[in-house]
Chain A
Amino acid sequence: MGLAIDELANKVYISSTGSNAVFVLDRATGIMETIAGIPFNLGTNIGSTAKASKLYYPRGLFFDSTSNYLYIAGMLCFSLLTSCRCGYSCSAPG
């Protein structure tokens, strides 16, 4: 489980370690949707988009307000993954 907040956009990112997905809650609308991973489908296939990728035990999150990237600690895929702010278009860091 992990939490990160995009304060300016008023969104909360939630990693669900057991269901292998990361969700975003829009505090203004109350709508929550999957932003990364395919819920209840664990894997290590990194696709072209975050929602097309499979995650394996995502845990810690950090939203970098400088770059607008969300960093996901993929505990059991042994890597750090990045995805840009929900609703924004941006190039990949590094």
Chain B
Amino acid sequence: MTVFAGTVGTLGYSNDGTQATKLNAPQSILILNGKMYLGTQMGLFQIDMNTKIIKALQYTNSRPVSGLAYQNGKIYACVMSNHYMFSVDLTNNFAVTSPVSGSDDVQGNIDGTLLQARYNRYAISCITKNHRLTGMTTNTNDGYIYIADTDNRVVKRLSVTGNSVTTWAGDNTNGDGRLASKARLSRPYAIAFNTLTGDTFYVSGNIFIPF
């Protein structure tokens, strides 16, 4: 095991254009075309995989960026505890749209347009079905961004082109379930897809569950 970035045991901050030798609570990772996108307590950063030079893309005032997804040239970032998502356009000089869905510090459980939608507490993880295979194939991308909406106990999915957010799994109660659409999830924290097998997974508390 090696340290790729930061200094173990040392909280800190690395200035733009320097090597990422100090980090503040890194939480989410996405690697794309030789760049690492890193969500931390301070915001969203880009790190060059070869030089390890860091660049700040968006500061979040100490609100942790807990989940990252990539779709159509943009990084989508979930902000834990503040119930919203912002985007960074990699094809347009890192232009930020914030919020792109939800509302900063306004919690709820509402399906609707991107800005009408409300999340509760965490929105801790978000992914697209193809994000780990970008550059290899995109034919498994179904066009949605999936969001583990922890304290609503649901998984929502978001369509940017359709300007809609809908509940995809869970019915906002605890307990066991069967079909994903009818499942009762207990605080989903992380979700993942295997695009080769079609399996969907999520982690809830200390429980790992294949859908």
Taking Cβ atoms with an 8 Å cutoff, the residues of A that contact B are 1-5, 7-8, 10, 12, 14, 16, 18-19, 25, 27, 36, 44, 46-50, 53, 59-66, 71, 73-83, 92-94
Shortest distance in angstroms between A89's beta carbon and chain B's nearest beta carbon?
14
Residues of A with C-beta under 8 A to B97: none
Taking Cβ atoms with an 8 Å cutoff, the residues of B that contact A are 1-12, 22-31, 36, 38-39, 49-50, 52, 66-67, 124-125, 132-133, 136, 189-197, 199, 201-203, 205-206, 208
- A93/B4 in contact, CB under 8 A: yes
- The majority secondary structure among interface residues of chain B is strand
Given contacts A25-B208, A78-B22, A80-B3, contact A62 B194 (CB under 8 A): no
Name which residue of chain A comes closest to B52, CB basis: A94
Extra contacts besides A8-B196, A81-B4 (5): CB < 8 Å: A3-B191, A49-B1, A76-B25, A79-B6, A94-B50
* Complexed CA–CA distance, A49 and B202 (Å): 27
Residues of B with C-beta under 8 A to A60: 26-29, 39, 66-67
Residues of A with C-beta under 8 A to B27: 59-60, 73, 75
- A78/B11 in contact, CB under 8 A: yes
Residues of B with C-beta under 8 A to A61: 29
- A18/B29 in contact, CB under 8 A: no
- A14/B1 in contact, CB under 8 A: no
- A75/B26 in contact, CB under 8 A: yes
Residues of B with C-beta under 8 A to A46: 1-3, 8
Residues of B with C-beta under 8 A to A74: 6, 8, 26
Closest 4 A/B residue pairs (Cβ): A79-B6, A1-B189, A62-B29, A3-B192
- A79/B3 in contact, CB under 8 A: yes
- B4/A78 in contact, CB under 8 A: no
Given contacts A3-B190, A79-B7, contact A63 B1 (CB under 8 A): no
Residues of A with C-beta under 8 A to B30: 62
Instruction: Return 17 A-B CB contacts under 8 Å, by A number.
Output: A1-B203, A2-B190, A3-B125, A3-B201, A5-B201, A46-B1, A60-B29, A60-B39, A61-B29, A71-B31, A73-B27, A74-B6, A74-B26, A78-B11, A81-B2, A94-B49, A94-B52
Residues of A with C-beta under 8 A to B132: 4-5, 7, 62-63, 65
Residues of B with C-beta under 8 A to A73: 26-29, 38
Q: Which listed residue, B6, B201, B206, touches A78 by the CB 8 Å rule? A: B6
